[in-house]
Chain A
């Protein structure tokens, strides 16, 4: 490379901001342009988070089929990321690669970082899995034995915490899973984890050898698990 090349960055469509409505504030000064915050701040504090995410299973099958067709035509690898209890559902595409860890991002820049399908980190969710260590996919696929997991995250005061777990793997039989309207015959493996901060179960659905088609993996202890479905390989 002889010279620094001019870079091209594509970004999602810019948001149109409506400004100066009623009691809202506006301006270009980032330090003070969120007077709106003051009004909403107390409200958000005491309001339970009610959300209206999309449950794929309840969608019109034709709509799901046309979405899958569009994604397949696009040929970009796609992972569907869901947090059932938070009603979070979004598509993610590859965004970065660091060694064997691939980072996937939604258009809202929530990201999940996966090592051969195993969840390593999240960003953009607020309470994020900052980093973690755990078994490799081959060990999970074997479906027996024990594993050790370490999860690192930041609390609401930005202080780091580590939660450790010991887990037991078990084969959970054959199961058919539906990923965005398409069925896959899979082999299911369960990983039951116990630590000082409670317990949880990770689940993995392999469609062949060590290829993860679907998984339910702990993200942030206390917050819950993410469901990851590989839609387009």
Chain B
């Protein structure tokens, strides 16, 4: 057997050109996309419209006019429902009122506020009917930006859209035509964090509207009549002069993703808007890149070459280790390493580690191709088991003759899937040979790191940046020593106003103390054990410096059926608070706590997953966290969580309870090449002590994510990539 090289050396040297990146695959339709306004939501200039963005789109928006800046993250949660998180700042907030009034909100030179919005499209645009959206703006909290509205938008031809709406609250403050639902009660925000049901759609109601006209594919003109009087900003505080309700602007579509707008607002000021609109569901570069696979090697017919089909190799003592070597040589370009192999005359099971492909199906496909190249002809059944931290996860079983027959079949992906089984891999592989080079395995990296402290009203964006040295030493399957050391090179994190302001132990509120003092910081230093405890049952124990603020022991068990939409886990930890200096010491407070959770995970279908954790948090408080994520097949996750515990809103402090937005972004989306790297972001309005869980690297649910039937099916087409 010999695989021949695609091009001999002398030809390779005189090659003409290299691979070049390739652009979008899907034909682009030239419709008039819904645009965004200065509040980062679908709309005109400062007013909303009746439209919404395409399903799943994620918008990042920076809008600015006069003294007002708005940074908004908007997610189209479902085709009809969208939500936004916005950070607003208003300059010269107290310039006119302080002195004499310099206390409370008047004490701020620049006023910062956080908004949450929800919008629901009650009507899709039809031939005669407009798109109609009902919106709640800044519906939780202090209510400065609070507004409710109903907006309708209708297209007239391919280039013109007209919007008309009725606003309440802020959007009912100019040119009101009555208050049909009665007077609007005053907001009693208190500590914030709670919906202001009592105000919604109450008080003065005012009409607004406008139009968008698309000059060309790139340029759009907008004009609107605003029903926002800017009573506080303009009339009371004089931060800008609102002379007119009319706004005008022009927008330029730099690409499908990037839109820029320039506006003349309220007869007195200029504004601009930068809007980035991403579609997490689709990599911008289209189909996944990276080198093509090895071709499938087809066995000769048994009648034609009977000697190839003999099984004398079964008695060859080094047959398995030779096959492991051959597999690993064949897989050298793939980031896949065979860890162990068992083989009989007709069945081979390969257990492998995949460090490259984000799609388990692609890894399985590459292994299947390598098996056609290396396995003796009599081996007809291929069993492929990805190993994760030494744990055998799911097993993909295919027939070799199907792989041979379907490589170029029409709709080859679905064709091979119909003949593939995904099941639990079971325990240790009996009668197997192991790859002596697979363990111990050392890996390391050095790269940049950043810490941020957000939303401190004195300095809303503070960042530390530096380098992180990270190492992983896998002594044996399932036994991992790892550590990370960070050194700050630059940073401006100084502190936080939240220090020690509640009766709770300061498990998180002293974050700034760590960010300032821990330099260099032993961010983590742990020994972990992973193991398969039974069918579909996994276990983990991690000991050491688990996270920046806590050290101790963390253990968990996860039951994760391969072919079910749910899984359950139990976690128990005992930890002590670390000193803020980033060394090996513990905090002088001697704070120790036992925490733990019972967790349930459920795939709700339609790409939504829910997680419920019930248990005890770091401050010793009891309660639960509910997390709802939209999970895209390519690994993007966008969602939100909320934690309620037996800590009262008063003891919790500002925000009343812990909540936030979570995102997981696979880097392969940006690169268009396979990689397992991803970045996780959690955006919390405020980081407080109540409802705060321990942070441990490589929890079971995270490392085993995707290694079930649903995970394979989400990206099954990549079996043949």
Contacts and interface: CB of A to CB of B under 8 A. Distances in A.
Interface of A: 1-13, 20, 23, 25-35, 37-38, 40-42, 44-46, 49, 51, 53-54, 56, 67, 70-71, 74, 76, 78, 80, 83, 86-99, 101, 103-111, 113, 115, 120-128, 130-133, 150, 152-160, 162, 197-198, 220-223
Looking at A10, A56, A107, the one whose CB has the most chain B CB atoms below 10 A away is A107
B297 to A, nearest CB: 7
Nearest to A104: B6
Contacts of B14: 67, 70
28 contacts: A1-B377, A9-B3, A9-B5, A28-B444, A33-B445, A33-B447, A34-B671, A38-B448, A38-B679, A76-B8, A76-B11, A88-B22, A93-B7, A97-B295, A107-B12, A108-B19, A123-B293, A124-B291, A126-B288, A127-B22, A130-B720, A130-B721, A132-B410, A150-B410, A152-B412, A156-B285, A156-B634, A159-B633
Contacts of A130: 412-413, 717, 720-721
Interface string B275-311: 0000001111111111111111110000000011010
B464 interface: no
Nearest to A99: B298
B537 to A, nearest CB: 25
A25 to B, nearest CB: 3
A25 B445 contact: yes
B7 A107 contact: yes
B466 to A, nearest CB: 12
A67 B258 CA distance: 45
B634 to A, nearest CB: 5
B8 A223 contact: no
A93 to B, nearest CB: 5
Contacts of B3: 7, 9
Contacts of B407: 98, 101
B16 interface: yes
Given A6-B322, A88-B19, A124-B291, A30 B443 contact: yes
Contacts of B443: 27-30
B312 interface: yes
Contacts of B296: 96, 98
Interface residues of B, number: 105
Contact of A93 (B6, B313, B404, B676): B6
Contacts of A98: 295-296, 298, 404, 407-408
Contacts of A5: 1
A11 to B, nearest CB: 7
Among B292, B295, B471, B720: residue with most chain A CB under 10 A:
B292
B359 to A, nearest CB: 6
B514 to A, nearest CB: 22
B2 interface: yes
The 8 closest A-B pairs by CB, nearest first: A96-B295, A27-B445, A123-B292, A124-B292, A25-B447, A127-B25, A35-B447, A41-B670
Given A37-B671, A110-B292, A128-B721, A160 B5 contact: no
Contacts of B717: 130, 154, 158-160
Interface string B20-58: 111111110000000000000000000000000000000
